[in-house]
Amino acid sequence: MGAADGRDDTHSTSTGANTSAGPAEPVPTPAPGVRPWARSLAICTFGSFTTIVGMTMLVPFLPVYIRQLGVQDPDAIVHWSAICFGATYLVAALVAPLWGMLGDRWGRKSMLVRAGLGMSIAIGLTGLAQDVGQLLALRLLTGLLGGFASGAMILVADLTPVARRAFAVGVLTSGVMAGNLAGPVLGGLLPPLVGPRVVFGWTGALIFTAFLAVVLGLPADRPQRRPVAPDGPATPAAPSAPAGPSDPPAAPGPPGAQGERAPARASAAIVLLLAIASLITFASMSVEPFITLLSAQLPGGQPAALWGGIALSATAAGTMIAGPVLGRAADAIGPRRVLALSLAAAALCASAQYLAHSAPALVALRFALGLAVGGLAPAVTSALRALVPAARVGRVLGLMVAAQHAGQVLGPLFGAWVATAAGMREAFLASGAVLALGAGLAALALRRRNQPS
């Protein structure tokens, strides 16, 4: 078996002996070089970095561009900026399960080809918009055709050997966070030099390079269709990759005993993990709008915009550093243990921001939070992949992406409600409480998994 089923990262072949025809030919050995899963990981990480840069680069200059399109009222500019920015992520959340399901049917590479080419065209055309209506339409189109990073996550989780799966997802997460860091910086530096319209063209060209890398560098993957008997149900799909250390495969049991309970238990665990994925982004996004405001109230927090940006970047930097490390730990001791421990640590770091006494202290706590959450995406993705057959990986991980987007939309609303009702610092305590709830659910999932059937 090859890397696609998660059992090994080398290919083996065998030839039957034919005594009448002479000695069997020697079995060819794989040529030395980069393993297929590692090459796919490198391409997916590069593509995710470039597409995230393209998605986040417009954040600093979006109001400026809307003003150039003819909107002059300050309140209207704020209104349209929020709508145009959020529209992309709303549409992406709605179509993520669909793209995941189509990836199960037509192959993971085809989804990356679609996303890379679609985003390069949509973002490139955004620089040609003539009014704010066209801008909104193109932002909706970007969300509809995009999803490169989520598609890359599905492909990496599916093709990487199980012993390296969480590590690979951690590396991919670091690439995404690097894009989140570089995009706003480039968006603040380039438009004053060359103009917003040129920046959109350059960004489209950059994403087109990711499209070419996918087309030329990723192997073709054609999912095996399950044969259907003439008068019976489809034959079972190939089993998913072996589970990790804390997720041993269920022992076979007779019908009516464990054999009937296993699908229901797996479905319950999947729902639990999807809820945890949503809570993670929900808690993180609930306080991000207040980071700059809190910095302005702290000693040494002026200029507030600078310190707020540093605090937000510190979280991303911590996640970049910790992603591969905690991913490797999840491969060694099991993703659910790392998930529970990381969530507990994140809950402590998030709550401690309530006690921040200076801007540097807030930055340090945000960096510690980034280190804690660095293991969450690898752990959740690896744990889900261990529960899902290969033929349904895309649709389930697509649901995970949709759950995360839902957290991104609802989190800020929850944080604003808490800040209005109780105070801005209390919003950080509420964020820690949500993460603590996630840690409790992760501990429950771990306990349920370890219970004998």
Name 306's Cβ contacts closer than 8 Å, sequence gap at least 6. none
CB atoms within 10 A of CB 232: 7
Tokens of 136: 């909104």
> CB within 8 A of 319, min separation 6: which ones?
173, 174, 177, 370, 371, 373, 374
d(CA 247, CA 253): 17
Return the higher-pLDDT residue of 165 and 306: 165
| DSSP state at residue 234 | B
3-state secondary structure of 256: coil
Residue 437 to residue 109: CA distance in whole angstroms? 36
Query: Band of the pLDDT at 222, cuts 50, 70, 90?
Result: low
Coil, helix or strand at residue 228:
strand
- On the 0-12 / 13-18 / 19+ scale of CB atoms within 10 A, 28 is exposed
Find, among 279, 301, 287, 278, the residue nearest to 426 by Cα. Answer: 287
Structure tokens at 57: 């680069």
For the four alpha carbons of 188, 191, 196 and 199, in that order, the dihedral sign comes to negative
Q: Which residue has the tokens 């093709």?
A: 159
| Phi, psi values for residue 250, rounded to 5° | -70, 140
Q: Which of 56-60, 360-364, 415-419 has the lowest mean pLDDT?
A: 56-60
| Identity of residue 281 | T
For the question of whether the overall pTM of this predicted structure is more than 0.75, the answer is no
pLDDT in tens, 104-124: 888 889 999 999 999 999 999
pLDDT at 450: 55
Quick one: pLDDT band at residue 237, thresholds 50, 70, 90? very low
**What was the pLDDT predicted at 292?**
78
Q: How many CB atoms lie within 10 A of CB 13?
A: 8
Q: Is the dihedral of CA 391, 393, 398, 400 positive or negative?
A: positive
Tokens in use for 379?
A: 């752990």
Helix, strand, or coil (residue 244): coil
Q: What is the pLDDT of residue 312?
A: 82
* Cα dist from 233 to 226, 227, 230, whole Å: 10, 9, 8
Asked which of 50-59, 65-74, 239-248 is least confident by mean pLDDT, the reply is 239-248
**Nearest-CA neighbor of 183 among 62, 89, 35?**
62
Locate 419 and state its tokens. 């800040």
Q: Angle formed by the axes of helices 335-352 and 304-333, to 10°?
A: 160
Q: What is the DSSP letter of 235?
A: P
pLDDT digits (tens, 9 = 90+) for 378-408: 888 888 888 888 778 888 888 888 888 888 8
**What confidence category does residue 449 fall into, taking pLDDT thresholds of 50, 70 and 90?**
low
Average pLDDT over residues 344-349: 94
In this structure, of 89-98, 163-172, 367-376, the range with the lowest mean pLDDT score is 89-98
Q: Residue 274 and residue 295: Cα distance in Å, rounded?
A: 33
Distance CA 321, CA 315 (A): 10
Distance spanning both ends of the chain, measured CA to CA:
30
Q: Which helix (H) or strand (E) holds 161?
A: none
- Locus of tokens 């209005």: 420
pLDDT band per the 50, 70, 90 thresholds, residue 344: very high
User: CA–CA separation, 286 vs 413, rounded Å?
Assistant: 7
Residues 6+ apart with CB under 8 A from 89: 143, 405, 408, 409
What's the residue count for the chain?
A: 453
| Both tokens assigned to 115 | 């996303």
Provide the total of helices (H) and of strands (E) in the chain, helices listed first. 17, 0
Cα angle, residue 322 at apex, residues 309 and 288 outer, rounded to 5°:
30
Longest dimension (CA), the chain: 88
Judge contact between 399 and 274, C-beta under 8 A: yes
Q: Which residue in this structure is represented by tokens 């797996």?
A: 266
> pLDDT tens across 287-318, in order?
887 787 888 888 887 887 778 878 888 888 89
Q: Token pair for residue 123?
A: 């973002």
Q: Quote the pLDDT of residue 6.
A: 38
